[in-house]
Amino acid sequence: MRIATTIFLTDETITPVRLARELEQRGFAGLYLPEHTHIPVTRDTPYPAGGELPPEYGRTLDPFVALGQAAAVTEHLALGTGITLIAQHDPIDLAKQIATLDHLSGGRFTLGLGFGWNVEEAADHGVTWSTRRELGRDRMALMRALWADEPTGYEGEFGSVRASHAHPKPVQKPRGPVSGPRTLIGGAAGPKLFAHIAEYADGWLPIGGRGLAESVPVLRRAWESAGRDPERLQVVPYAVLPSAGKLAHYAELGIEEVVLQLPPAGESEVLRALDDYAQYL
């Protein structure tokens, strides 16, 4: 099982360069970074985990800039977002960012995408909450048009692009209906989410990994009903606080990668956590 990590990197934590070097030297498989552009002070949306929203949410580094630094100082470490708030991006700009990072890293990028939880943050980006999933789906289709080998136009419900010259291209080649970098969708189990995964992603990025024994078979049925290859589905539990029993359970479910949560802290505390997690490598 590949052991990757995630962390809220901020202006107060360990730096991307230092962390990426330590992860690669220690044998960890990857680094995934979350995204929040801003956290409105006046907010009615409750924090999904309950209680007060931790301060690191409002201090998060831009994941693409931070992952670019990580790519420059590593050779093998996988790099990913967990998650990109796809509805909050201009898809033409985002397609260029993703393709550039994937190209410069030699195909090491995973696009973890999701639809968000913070209504006020999304609203400042002009997102209508009730249609954010459909908007995300439309933006993925537009980006796939820009990533196509030949100039390809796209006309969707929420956006369009003319047939264009758009380089670089993502490294990974199309597989089934999916093109671009490895793509995982985050979110809670449910028929709408599983339909999105089966249509345009490589798999699921469930936070915490709870309830997978019940939900993974449901996802597999949706995946196979869409005509996808059963062997290609990827489920990657995300932001996991590990134990030997938990990882053994994941292995029994056929899971090949897990992303462990690191503390949003300074260098010494993060390195202590890596020392502790080394037992799972």
Query: How do residues 106-153 score in pLDDT, each as one tens digit?
Result: 999 999 999 999 999 999 999 999 999 999 999 999 999 999 999 999
The rounded mean pLDDT for the chain is 97
- Residue 199: what residue type? E
Residue 46: band (very low, low, confident or very high) from pLDDT cuts 50, 70, 90: very high
The C-alpha torsion from 88 through 93 and 97 to 99, rounded to 10°, is: 120
Q: What pTM was computed for the model?
A: 0.97
CA angle 174, 24, 256 (to 5 degrees): 50
Residue 253: band (very low, low, confident or very high) from pLDDT cuts 50, 70, 90: very high
CB contact at 8 A, 272 and 265: no
Encoded tokens for 28: 């960890």
**pLDDT one-digit tens code per residue, 155-182:** 999 999 999 999 999 999 999 899 999 9
Mean pLDDT of 85-107: 98
Mean pLDDT of 38-66: 96
Q: Which residues pair with 84 in a beta bridge?
A: 113
Share of the chain above pLDDT 70, in %: 100
Mean pLDDT of 191-215: 96
Residue 171 backbone dihedrals phi, psi, to 5 degrees: -75, -45
* pLDDT for res 55: 97
**pLDDT one-digit tens code per residue, 71-89:** 999 999 999 999 999 999 9
pLDDT at 209 over 90: no
* pLDDT for res 163: 98
Burial of 105 (0-12, 13-18, 19+ CB in 10 A): buried
* pLDDT for res 172: 94
3-class SS string, the chain: CEEEEECCCECCCCCHHHHHHHHHHHCCCEEEECCCCCCCCCCCCCCCCCCCCCHHHHCECCHHHHHHHHHHCCCCCEEEECCEEHHHCCHHHHHHHHHHHHHHCCCCEEEEEECCCCHHHHHHCCCCHHHHHHHHHHHHHHHHHHHCCCCCCEECCCCEECCCCCCCCCCCCCECCECCCEEEEECCCCHHHHHHHHHHCCEEECECCCCHHHHHHHHHHHHHHCCCCHHHCEECCECECCCHHHHHHHHHCCCCEEEEECCCCCHHHHHHHHHHHHHHC
**pLDDT one-digit tens code per residue, 218-247:** 999 999 999 999 999 999 999 999 999 999
